[in-house]
Amino acid sequence: MRKILMKDVTSGSENVKRVFRVTLNNRTAGLMYEMEFTNDELLEIIKLTKLEDIQTYRQSEFYERLVRSQPGPFLDEVFGSLLYYFMYSTKNLKALIEKAGELSEKNKGTWLRMMVQNNRHVPSEAKEYGINTHIYPYNVISAANLIMNHQIGYVFSNGMAIFSLLDTMTEDQLVETYKKAISTPANFDIFTKYSKTPTSILDMLFNDYKKFGEQTFDKIMILVELPQASEDIKGYVYDKTGDDKYMPEGIRDIFMFDA
């Protein structure tokens, strides 16, 4: 652990020097409550604490005491500097945003993503902090992270929550949501159950599963039964099965013309 010297406090702030005159164990909540820091002082404290090269969880504990001791409002830069230390703690994320001032779209989005990942639902208090989850980009962030937490084959409350978010999106936003959650098999589960999934997403699912041949043909059979299935999907299934039910319109028209 590196010791922070008083000369490292380049601002010359006596408040900041007082923090680093004591060891980390002695930077208690009581000590923090005795001082009120400006946002510039908070940024310097965060910067110098990182230089101490201590374990992340111990930094997080100190930052928790720091945040709870201060009245705020925290500037966007302070908020963003602390977010990742609180990413696994709903309690600390809430405490941080409650004392935040005007925040950037990026930091609001990151806070929302962390909250959804931690709790598997969209935080009801988001709107209080200027985060409307029914408009872009917050609808995409919410839906993509709910999908990544979705339990495959099990329709539960998150399923309906995801569909209500998807209902607020344009086709481009639906595609963005699909791509953000592309690493999870739940994409298939959600987008084949959602009645307004555009053909472009079904085609992406088809192209992904087609690579595995017979191993995933059952997935393609689900896709082909959807009303918005493309001619490419129908043609593939028709070639594999010979079932006239899946004959693409182009081929059907040729047969009718020859007749």
Same domain, 4 and 74: yes
pTM value is: 0.86
Q: φ, ψ for residue 196 (rounded to 5)?
A: -105, 20
pLDDT in tens, 133-157: 999 999 999 999 989 887 544 444 5
From 143, 175, 194, give the residue that closes a domain.
194
The total number of residues written for the chain in this structure: 259
pLDDT in tens, 16-70: 999 999 998 899 999 999 999 999 999 999 999 999 888 889 999 999 999 999 9
pLDDT in tens, 71-93: 999 999 999 999 999 999 999 99
The token pair that represents 258 in the structure block: 């020859």
pLDDT band at 244 (very low <50, low <70, confident <90, very high): confident
Same domain, 182 and 220: no
Mean pLDDT of the region 153-181: 84
Residue 152 vs residues 104, 109, 132, 159, 160: alpha-carbon distances, Å: 34, 25, 27, 10, 14
User: How many other C-beta atoms are found inside a 10 Å radius of the C-beta of residue 148?
Assistant: 18
The whole domain housing 35 covers 1-103
pLDDT in tens, 4-17: 999 999 999 999 99
Q: What is the pLDDT of residue 159?
A: 64
Same domain, 23 and 83: yes
From 139, 168, 194, give the residue that closes a domain.
194
pLDDT in tens, 91-136: 999 999 999 999 999 999 999 999 998 888 888 889 999 999 999 9
Same domain, 247 and 155: no
| Number of domains comprising the chain | 3
For residues 250 and 225, the model is more confident at 225
Same domain, 79 and 135: no
Angle between helices 217-224 and 231-241 (to 10 degrees): 130
Write the single-letter amino acid at 13.
S
Q: What is the pLDDT of residue 250?
A: 65
Same domain, 85 and 2: yes
